[in-house]
């Protein structure tokens, strides 16, 4: 059975079938303007927080903002989110983001999604198995982000009771249907429904599969809405001054926002227990304490430790780049990054091979490069030295929607050479 996108929609759906001519305000508005929506983003399929309150700044350090979707840090290096949020490889994420206009808050950690895996059974047709995992480029320790004693567990018990239990959902999504997103992280307390109730004719009937669960309010007074997709649904238990939060769901879809007898639908975490454990522990080789993997030694660079520095403008979501090796028939990708945080200085280290040439492609989806502030922000190319970062080349003109830079590393692995760019200093 298929459903109209006018009545059933995702919290933030990233689907390839959407026409590129559609326009919408981004769900997480970090000082963003309105832009044409990318080909893989449908502004109609979104869900949001309705009837919520602002969270205590220290209450949910595991919440992750993906720039339009939410997620949950289930291990220091792993984020669980919704598959319909799209392939997040290389995407910028913000752990413990409270005020989405203030990523410089000392409690926020900026990371990147180094690897992304969706559930094998994810089906955009019936919304089943709406799970995806992201491996971060560097771990984040949540106990360093809050002064409260908070333990997060993800639920692997299919018999864990949520029926008529108080649950908590959160996000930066819209505060009502048709309204704007919230600048500050908000939460709602809602109740869980049994599968029998959720599958009844008074709710969703046969639309609800085994991988789903429902949570909301009968009268629709509290619900998740656009921009909350992928975010956590938890059951909180307080013991003295300590909190134990059990992740039971991932915000997935709903019919309307806050409609009577149409609660939010969440991906049921216990259903995906094998996927979560095997992907996190085996594919990602995560340092999660429930994986038992040995901590990997830090990799050393046998070539040149290069630096790519990008200062985003007022519209960080426009900007991305990809670095590839060059050779006969070889354009192997080395690294890619996609931004969404505005006016932020991003510095990336990447190990380059000796006597190897590379191609750096810069992209801006709006076509004004990094000049959205009225002046042009800088892309820097250089290397890491014992004294710090040394930027050798700068790109600070209006290069439009795409700019390609070719450069090579010398045979000793000590210098970067580019015939396109003017060096900032003499070597």
- Residue 302, both tokens: 């046998």
Please name the residues in contact with 300: beta carbons below 8 A apart, sequence gap of 6 or more.
none
Structural contact between residues 114 and 138, judged by C-beta atoms closer than 8 angstroms: no
Beta strands in 262-378 (DSSP E): 264-268, 304-311, 319-325, 333-338, 345-352, 357-364
Q: Assign 3-state DSSP to the chain and report helix, strand, coil percentages, each to 5.
A: 5, 40, 50
User: Which of 189, 253, 195 lies closest to 221 in space, CA to CA?
Assistant: 189
- Report which secondary-structure segment, H or E, holds 252: strand 242-255
Catalytic residues: 84, 130, 229
Total residues found in the chain within this entry: 427
CA separation for the pair 133, 125 (Å, rounded): 20
**Tokens 């869980």 -> residue:** 192
Burial 400-419 (b: 16+ CB within 10 A, else e): eeebebebbbeeebeebebe
CA separation for the pair 194, 263 (Å, rounded): 12
User: Which of 276, 273, 274, 265 lies closest to 128 in space, CA to CA?
Assistant: 265
- Residue 325, both tokens: 């090796």
| DSSP reduced 3-state for 283 | helix
CA separation for the pair 195, 206 (Å, rounded): 11
CA separation for the pair 123, 75 (Å, rounded): 26
Is residue 377 exposed (0-12), middle (13-18) or buried (19+ Cβ within 10 Å)?
buried
β-bridge partners, 417? 408
Phi, psi (deg, nearest 5) at residue 103: -75, -5
């Amino acid at each position: 059975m298929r459903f109209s996108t006018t009545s059933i929609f995702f919290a933030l759906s990233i689907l390839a079938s959407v026409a590129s001519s559609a326009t919408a305000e981004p769900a997480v508005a970090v000082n963003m303007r309105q832009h044409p929506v990318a080909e893989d983003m449908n502004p109609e399929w979104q869900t949001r927080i309705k009837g919520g309150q602002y969270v205590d700044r220290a209450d949910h350090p595991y919440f992750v903002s993906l720039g339009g979707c939410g997620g949950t840090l289930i291990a220091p290096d792993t984020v669980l989110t919704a598959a319909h949020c799209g392939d997040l490889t290389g995407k910028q994420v913000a752990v413990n983001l409270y005020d989405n206009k203030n990523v410089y808050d000392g409690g926020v950690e900026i990371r990147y999604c180094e690897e992304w895996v969706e559930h094998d059974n994810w089906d955009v047709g019936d919304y089943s198995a709406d799970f995806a995992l992201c491996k971060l480029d560097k771990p984040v320790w949540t106990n360093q982000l809050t002064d409260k004693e908070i333990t997060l567990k993800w639920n692997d018990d299919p018999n864990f009771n949520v029926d008529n239990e108080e649950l908590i959902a959160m996000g930066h999504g819209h505060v009502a249907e048709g309204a704007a997103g919230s600048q500050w992280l908000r939460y709602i307390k809602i109740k869980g429904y049994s599968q029998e109730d959720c599958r009844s004719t008074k709710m969703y009937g046969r639309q609800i599969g085994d991988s789903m669960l429902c949570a909301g309010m009968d009268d629709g007074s509290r619900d998740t809405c656009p921009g909350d997709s992928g975010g956590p649904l938890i059951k909180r238990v307080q013991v003295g001054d300590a909190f134990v939060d059990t992740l039971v769901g991932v915000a997935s879809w709903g019919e309307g926002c806050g409609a009577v007898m149409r609660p939010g639908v969440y991906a049921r975490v216990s259903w995906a227990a094998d996927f979560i454990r095997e992907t996190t522990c085996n594919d990602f080789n995560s340092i999660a304490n429930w994986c038992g993997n040995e901590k990997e030694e830090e990799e050393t660079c046998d070539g040149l430790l290069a630096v790519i520095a990008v200062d985003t403008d007022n519209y960080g979501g426009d900007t991305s780049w990809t670095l590839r090796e060059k050779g006969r028939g070889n354009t192997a990708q080395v690294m890619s990054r996609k931004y969404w945080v505005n006016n932020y200085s991003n510095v990336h280290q990447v190990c380059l091979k000796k006597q190897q040439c590379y191609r750096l492609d810069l992209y801006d989806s709006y076509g004004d490069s990094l000049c959205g502030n009225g002046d042009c922000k800088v892309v820097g190319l250089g290397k890491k030295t014992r004294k710090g970062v040394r930027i050798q080349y700068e790109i600070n003109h209006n290069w439009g929607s795409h700019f390609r830079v070719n450069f090579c590393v010398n045979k000793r692995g000590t210098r970067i050479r580019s015939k396109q760019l003017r060096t900032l200093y003499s070597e």
